[in-house]
Chains A and B, each alone.
Chain A
Amino acid sequence: MSLLDEFKERESNRNSEQEYWRSVEQLVDTPEYEEMLIREFPEGADSPPANFSRRRFLALMGASISLAGFSGCRWPKEEIRAFAHRPEGLVPGVPRYYATSFDINGHINGIVATSYDGRPIKIEGNEVHPAGMGSTDAWAQASVLQLYDPDRSRKIAHRTGNQTVHPGWAQFQKSLQGDLAALWEGGGAGLVVLTEKSSSPSLRDLRDRLLASYPKARWTEYEPVSWDAMREGAKIAFGAPYRVHSDFTKASVVVALDDDLFGYHPTSLKNARDIMQGRGGSGENMNRLYAVEPVHSITGSMADHRLPLRASEIEAFTHALASELAKKGVPIASAIKGKLKTDGTHVPAEFIATMAEDLANHRGRSVVTAGYRQSASVHALVNAINTALGNLDQTVLLTRDPEGERPSHAQAIADLTADMNAGRVKVLAMLGGNPVYDAPADLDFGAALAKVPTSIHLSLYDDETSQKCTWHLPQAHYLESWNDARSWDGTVSTVQPLIDTLYEGKTNLEVVAMMLGEQPFSGFEIVRRTFRSMAGPVIDFEKGWRRALHEGIVENTALPTARTALNAAAVAGALHGGSHDEGYEVLFTHDARVFDGRFANSGWLQEMPDPMTKVTWDNTANMSPASAEELGVKTGDIVSVTVEGKSLSIPVYVMPGHASRSVSIALGYGRTAAGHVGDGVGANAYALRTTKTGYIAHGGQIKGTGAKAKLATTQDHYLIDDIGMSGYDKRYSAIVREGQFADYKKNGKNAFHQDHHPPLVSLWKEPDFEGTAWGMSVDLSKCTGCGTCVIACVAENNIPVVGKDEVRRGREMQWLRIDRYFHGDKENPTAIHQPLHCQQCENAPCEQVCPVGATQHNQEGLNDMVYNRCIGTRYCSNNCPYKVRRFNYFNNQDPVTPIEKMVYNPNVTVRSRGVMEKCTWCVQRINRVKIDAKNHKRPIRDGEIIPACAQACPTRAIEFGDLTDDKSAVAKKHKSKRAYHLLAELNVQPRNVFLARLKNPHPALTESTNGHHHG
């Protein structure tokens, strides 16, 4: 009988004198309540402990006194405590910064997390880290939102049959040790640990310990999207697993074969920085980037020459390139030369001849790369080409792969599933990952999992895999974890927590330690143990440890460059010329937003427009205009894509510049247990992907279903009619200016479109400025359109997520948008990215029309937005020629749980419904530096104030500073011959300039393959 029922019963027959009662318990007269009335203190608090001898008491007292003096030695404290008492030196509201590392797919970037009063709220790049050199990708930027995701798993779930219980860690540990004890006799046979790709030395150390204890146990690794092909290719070419690094700073010619160097690559941030460094037009020479690719990637959009080519023909192209190089006298090994197949490629001969000539002319100063989608054979041949070009040890460097010998990820998961199906796996511990969702469909990992008696899944979310396991364990987020990692070049990086675990999460290290049953259990101790063993016998370990935590890296731990010779015979043996299938190929790609599905529950990333399609909240089947015409479909039509009998319904996106007879679909969508945000978004491409297909499926059947989807795109909503196109064509060259490097060297600013307008006169008195005048510049030569700045801005400025429906209505809230323009031949257009935030006009048209004066000019030239005063007429937005203002159509900031609120930047107002908002050039950052400078009575240094977008930018395309200071970087940019004001003829006098994009096309190819250029 429940308490309530009891109450009701008593209520009905209680005596009438008892009029008042204090609580339900009093009414029900429970014995506990009776006792509580008598007791002064809670039970146990007022009586001496039982079984506590005098001797024990004295021993404890003695120990307390003698150890009291040691309390000062315990630094750093391992535990992270709430601020009941303010720690010394901490000023509330003043941010603290901690170096840590962000890991995606085993690729590390060093970051600095900003913490306000114990809450990490913003990720920035760590300048001393070799991977990002101060910049980040969008995934790292969005990771703070994941930390505070209310959908994250909070408890252990133990599932047996239809029952789910939520025991504690102690019970789990007991159960686990029971299971492991049963395997002890057999040396651990039947124990398998499946992890995500990890570079952590501590995890490796624990693996070795585990395998030492359980010699017959298996440790395996799986990633649905991985760079194994590079590894396998190097293994063929150089005889052992090597990592191939490219030094683009020294490369004059770069050829990317289906390789999204800036989008997803182990060193994408460094690639972008290094390649773009040489493209400002300041030097004597400029590098040249060729991209041959099936999809239209951001790398392709930056290329000087881009050739759309089906992924299955890239191999044939590589053969043709090698043979063309051989003709130009490049010493391709004769064993290889004999095996090259030069028929069957659809490449214009002129293109390949020019590319080969360009490479041959830049021996030792060029790089050829291939992407993760391509086979080991292509990678091997690319290695051979680089060797023949003399690039090896010059622009192409090798290091031994610290992962050593291991099967490829595709092989590993297939082997594991076979074992599971055969009943050979008794205990399967999965540390991260989500194989039920992302393992090849033909393996049916979920069904195999049912045959494993004890399956354990450590995961941030109670996801698809967790729900099929007997145990789900909540994982600690990396911002809650002690861990370590090695970046792609080998540099040891630290992972330290910024906050105590919000839920009951544990790290992968702690779970393995729990399996081992050995001390220490805590991540902190494990990492310190690893560092201690890596450091060897040093005098002052603590000092080095503290330094490593402070810097985020351990210096000089990069892997040594290896020198080795090409095994031409092995390469020749691996060549097979690729597929000549003429049907539709279906490509499975990583996604610029959710990656492989792991970020599906991040609203920031779901709402980030794809860099090329500008689609949000969906994945699409991208295809070329010609293919779409052939199939009779248009953007938004739902097609059914069938591969090997498996079908998927997905909307089409007609992507100009996509290779024809090729359809690319991003992985990571159509999740069913991602959380409230990610469930049911898009279509699950993993359903089509089998062990055999890998990244490229041949013989795809694509049919229109007649249904239509409403895609939520942030650009080109209705840019399909002729009149729109004609208007677009006329203004294109004025809006995004582009010129050729050679022309620019000769003619300076006349290489670009120039504005012609009558003298501009202002209707109003123009504002005066005192002291500093803030300015910005955006270099279109450097902007790859990756979208990191958009997410950095969202994170910094508390920008809300509005959802798919609202984006479809055109109500996305991102203050910074990246306009992507295509131009020229629609089968192979030029694509250009233009980040657009508030231009901070001096004659701001928005200010003039606000009836209540809610947007005002300040003395430093910023166009301030006074949220308190705004009544929401939206007139300012109508009058903004750049349309960079954003209106809160609804109450977009409505956190359901207190946890969600923790992600807010305390220095930025959270805007209410009915209020206009816009980019402020991170005025809170400007003010923080101004206050600091004033306190120290010093001028503000150039480069000291960095808005969030500029900070995150991998290529440093955005500069900010004081225009009155002639020496400031931004003032120099404003004086550049490439600088132009967007829509200057309106006389709004923007404080931001764009720098026209320079391209460096090969003279021989200027007319034939690159569409139209503007001189």
Chain B
Amino acid sequence: MGTITVDRDDPIKGKPLVEAHHDFGSVTDAVCSVVEKPPITKAWWISFFIAGSGLMLLLAMIAYLFWTGIGVWGVNNPVGWGFAIVNFVFWVGIGHAGTLISAILFLFRQQWRTSINRFAEAMTIFAVICALVFPGIHVGRVWFAWWMFPLPYQQMAWPQFRSPLLWDVFAVGTYFTVSLLFWYMGLIPDLATIRDRATSGIRRFAYGLFSLGWRGSNRQWHVYERAYLLLAALATPLVLSVHSVVSFDFAVANLPGWHTTIFPPYFVAGAIFSGFAMVVFLAVPARELYGLKSIITMRHLESMNKIILATGSMVGYAYAIEFFVAWYSGNIYEQFAFQNRAFGPYWWAYWTMASCNVFIPQVYWFKKMRRSIPVMMVVAFFVNVGMWFERFVITVTSLHRDFLPGSWGFYMPTWVDICTLIGSFGLFFTLFLLFIRFLPMVAIAEIKGVLPQAHAGHGHEGGEH
């Protein structure tokens, strides 16, 4: 029961990663109690009902789509891709923060990540699940979507490896697999903790099954940490590659507004930007409702807000550079694509995007704003809106007016498009609510590693406290 007093203004000591009077036992209690004795059942049930309805809406829309055809969406001849692809890129983007926090920050020994990494990784997995729904359903003949995979079957026909869509299948598939493994591996010691605290047989069996016989021996910890490090090293390039490859879907095409070399870094920055915004947006209510303020501290939130400011500015820079390059290239089609984005029929989408992504995050230059819960909720919300619009702007405004004015057209979503988008949030939040109900939303074992006690004693403790 050590007590730490920290001088908040002492920059050398830094801020504590975990606040209040936590010791190993209290950390375990704080996190596990959320799973074992949920403090706010009513709110959870209401949220779950809403999210579940959203999920049902998604399933209904997909059923309708499969029954009728892609025509139920607003896509048309010049604009072959609409909400489905926008949503796909959006969700893949959201799914960036988790692995970034887990893997890259882990490798860089950014210990403040420990309080939020589980949470963020779960979000990644769910966001990627949402993302994966869309490429599957957006094809005209879903019953043949499996032809995208290189399967040896009687037709002896391989996919076409020059297509960025195929690269996408591999990139997102790999990313999902590695993220899932990484997340699951991190969960094992904590699952074992819950197993050991379980009072009912079913819980003991279920958590026991998934904790894969974890006992917390030194040898297990040794192997575990090695494997975790290796997976982190493996996941790190994926964070950068997955959205780079997603950006190739656009950058490799010859369409003005898509055919841009800046896309890979710009997409990755945007993805991290939106991913962090989503983490903030989810973490703030969760820490309020589940009494985890002392574990997910204001310092964590502020750090994330700094990243939002940094990546938001990168995205803003990319927007500016696109215009510069369009002008500098002397290519009339390229120039037109960008003028048309900002001042053409979709000007509202463009300026929504620019306001949400570039202008609003600038408030984070002020410390007070970075540390204000209402401000960060508002900013995080707008960043997500803005990033969704960014993908809309890229996909739709480029397609609707390309080279030949004779083929120009216009795209408007249908009610099915909108309901599918809403439904994808339903899927996301359903999964997320199930996660916080059944799995430890903070990495208990890792948190303990950053407690001061951990450094006073002899390394890591097991999860059995």
> Which residues of the other chain, A, contact B42 by a CB distance below 8 angstroms?
none
CA distance A718 to B403 in the complex (A): 15
> Shortest CB–CB separation between residue A611 and chain B, in angstroms?
13
Contact A853 B158 (CB under 8 A): yes
Q: Is B75 an interface residue (CB 8 A)?
A: yes
Q: Is B333 an interface residue (CB 8 A)?
A: yes
Contact A877 B163 (CB under 8 A): no
**Given A851-B169, A869-B147, A914-B141, do A887 and B404 touch, yes or no (CB 8 Å)?**
no
CA distance A228 to B147 in the complex (A): 64
> Which residues of the other chain, A, contact B254 by a CB distance below 8 angstroms?
845, 879, 881, 986, 988
> Which residues of the other chain, A, contact B253 by a CB distance below 8 angstroms?
845, 849, 875, 878-879
Contact A852 B255 (CB under 8 A): no
Closest residue to B347 on the A side, CB-wise?
A: A723
**Given A810-B76, A852-B160, do A887 and B70 touch, yes or no (CB 8 Å)?**
yes
Encode contact with A along B72-113: 1 for CB under 8 Å, 0 otherwise. Answer: 001111111100000000000000000000000000000000
> Shortest CB–CB separation between residue A709 and chain B, in angstroms?
16
Contact B404 A717 (CB under 8 A): no
Encode contact with A along B144-162: 1 for CB under 8 Å, 0 otherwise. Answer: 1101100000000111101
Contact B76 A809 (CB under 8 A): yes
> Which residues of the other chain, B, contact A820 by a CB distance below 8 angstroms?
406
Encode contact with A along B117-161: 1 for CB under 8 Å, 0 otherwise. Answer: 000000000000000000000111110110110000000011110
B340 touches which one: A727, A845, A884 (CB < 8 A)?
A: A727
Q: Is B68 an interface residue (CB 8 A)?
A: yes
**Interface residues of chain A: helix, strand, loop or mixed (majority):** loop
Encode contact with A along B336-362: 1 for CB under 8 Å, 0 otherwise. Answer: 100110011100000000000000000
> Shortest CB–CB separation between residue B219 and chain A, in angstroms?
46
> Shortest CB–CB separation between residue A262 and chain B, in angstroms?
20
Q: Is B410 an interface residue (CB 8 A)?
A: yes
Closest residue to B144 on the A side, CB-wise?
A: A871
> Which residues of the other chain, B, contact A806 by a CB distance below 8 angstroms?
71
Q: Is A735 an interface residue (CB 8 A)?
A: yes
Q: Is A883 an interface residue (CB 8 A)?
A: yes
Contact A878 B80 (CB under 8 A): yes
Contact B409 A871 (CB under 8 A): no
Q: Is B69 an interface residue (CB 8 A)?
A: yes
Interface residues of A in 726-741 (CB under 8 A from B): 726-728, 730-732, 735
Q: Is A412 an interface residue (CB 8 A)?
A: no
Contact B75 A874 (CB under 8 A): yes
Contact B139 A871 (CB under 8 A): yes
> Which residues of the other chain, B, contact A719 by a CB distance below 8 angstroms?
405, 408
CA distance A726 to B169 in the complex (A): 39
Question: Of A263-271, A448-456, A888-896, which stretch is located at the interface?
Answer: A888-896
Contact A810 B78 (CB under 8 A): yes
**Given A723-B343, A853-B160, A887-B140, do A819 and B406 touch, yes or no (CB 8 Å)?**
yes
**Given A810-B78, A810-B410, do A875 and B336 touch, yes or no (CB 8 Å)?**
no
**Given A811-B71, A870-B141, A878-B253, do A850 and B160 touch, yes or no (CB 8 Å)?**
yes
Contact B81 A878 (CB under 8 A): yes
Closest residue to B398 on the A side, CB-wise?
A: A878
B408 touches which one: A717, A732, A817, A869 (CB < 8 A)?
A: A717
Contact A851 B163 (CB under 8 A): yes
CA distance A161 to B142 in the complex (A): 56
> Shortest CB–CB separation between residue B353 and chain A, in angstroms?
17
* Chain B CB within 10 A, most for which of A715, A719, A851: A851
> Which residues of the other chain, B, contact A872 by a CB distance below 8 angstroms?
70, 139-141
CA distance A726 to B343 in the complex (A): 12
Closest residue to A725 on the B side, CB-wise?
A: B405
Interface residues of A in 529-564 (CB under 8 A from B): none
**Given A724-B340, A819-B404, A881-B404, do A874 and B80 touch, yes or no (CB 8 Å)?**
yes
CA distance A604 to B148 in the complex (A): 36
Q: Is B407 an interface residue (CB 8 A)?
A: yes
> Which residues of the other chain, A, contact B402 by a CB distance below 8 angstroms?
881, 883
Q: Is B401 an interface residue (CB 8 A)?
A: yes
Q: Is A886 an interface residue (CB 8 A)?
A: yes
> Shortest CB–CB separation between residue B326 and chain A, in angstroms?
12
CA distance A724 to B160 in the complex (A): 36
Q: Is A397 an interface residue (CB 8 A)?
A: no
> Which residues of the other chain, B, contact A912 by a CB distance below 8 angstroms?
141
Contact B139 A873 (CB under 8 A): yes
> Shortest CB–CB separation between residue B335 and chain A, in angstroms?
8
Q: Is B164 an interface residue (CB 8 A)?
A: yes
Q: Is B178 an interface residue (CB 8 A)?
A: no
> Which residues of the other chain, B, contact A21 by a CB distance below 8 angstroms?
none
**Given A721-B345, A891-B69, A914-B70, do A873 and B164 touch, yes or no (CB 8 Å)?**
no
Contact A877 B405 (CB under 8 A): no
**Given A727-B336, A869-B157, do A889 and B141 touch, yes or no (CB 8 Å)?**
no
CA distance A882 to B76 in the complex (A): 15
Contact B140 A874 (CB under 8 A): yes
Please count how many residues in chain B sit with their CB below 8 Å of the partner chain's CB atoms.
55
Contact B410 A849 (CB under 8 A): no
Contact A870 B140 (CB under 8 A): yes
CA distance A169 to B458 in the complex (A): 108
Q: Is A834 an interface residue (CB 8 A)?
A: yes
Q: Is B332 an interface residue (CB 8 A)?
A: yes
Contact B343 A849 (CB under 8 A): no
**Given A881-B403, A891-B69, do A851 and B141 touch, yes or no (CB 8 Å)?**
no
Q: Is B399 an interface residue (CB 8 A)?
A: yes
Interface residues of B in 372-405 (CB under 8 A from A): 399, 401-405
Q: Is B252 an interface residue (CB 8 A)?
A: yes
> Which residues of the other chain, A, contact B433 by a CB distance below 8 angstroms?
none
> Shortest CB–CB separation between residue B168 and chain A, in angstroms?
8
CA distance A809 to B78 in the complex (A): 10
Closest residue to B146 on the A side, CB-wise?
A: A871
Contact A874 B407 (CB under 8 A): no
Contact B163 A850 (CB under 8 A): yes
Contact B340 A723 (CB under 8 A): yes
Contact B344 A889 (CB under 8 A): no
Q: Is B229 an interface residue (CB 8 A)?
A: no
CA distance A724 to B336 in the complex (A): 8
Q: Is B60 an interface residue (CB 8 A)?
A: no
> Shortest CB–CB separation between residue A787 and chain B, in angstroms?
14
B165 touches which one: A717, A873, A890 (CB < 8 A)?
A: A873
Q: Is B166 an interface residue (CB 8 A)?
A: yes
Contact B157 A853 (CB under 8 A): yes
B255 touches which one: A716, A810, A871, A879 (CB < 8 A)?
A: A879
CA distance A727 to B335 in the complex (A): 9
> Which residues of the other chain, A, contact B69 by a CB distance below 8 angstroms?
888-891, 913-914
> Which residues of the other chain, A, contact B404 by a CB distance below 8 angstroms?
735, 819, 836, 881-883, 982-983
Q: Is A526 an interface residue (CB 8 A)?
A: no
Contact B163 A875 (CB under 8 A): yes
Contact B159 A886 (CB under 8 A): no
Encode contact with B along A694-719: 1 for CB under 8 Å, 0 otherwise. Answer: 00000000000000000000011111
> Which residues of the other chain, A, contact B336 by a CB distance below 8 angstroms?
726-727, 730-731
B140 touches which one: A848, A913, A983 (CB < 8 A)?
A: A913
* Chain B CB within 10 A, most for which of A874, A878, A882: A878
Q: Is A20 an interface residue (CB 8 A)?
A: no
Contact A878 B399 (CB under 8 A): yes
CA distance A728 to B409 in the complex (A): 13
> Which residues of the other chain, B, contact A726 by a CB distance below 8 angstroms?
336, 339
- Provide a sorted-by-A list of 30 A–B residue pairs whose CB atoms are within 8 angstroms: A715-B406, A715-B408, A719-B405, A721-B344, A724-B405, A727-B340, A810-B78, A810-B410, A811-B71, A811-B77, A812-B77, A819-B406, A821-B405, A821-B406, A836-B406, A849-B163, A871-B140, A873-B139, A875-B163, A878-B253, A879-B255, A881-B255, A883-B78, A887-B140, A888-B69, A889-B69, A889-B71, A889-B76, A914-B139, A914-B140
Top 5 A-B pairs, shortest CB-CB distance: A872-B140, A914-B140, A819-B406, A889-B71, A810-B76
Other than A719-B408, A983-B403, give 13 A-B pairs with Cβ distance below 8 A. Answer: A719-B405, A731-B403, A810-B76, A819-B404, A819-B407, A849-B164, A853-B157, A871-B141, A873-B138, A874-B140, A882-B404, A887-B80, A889-B75
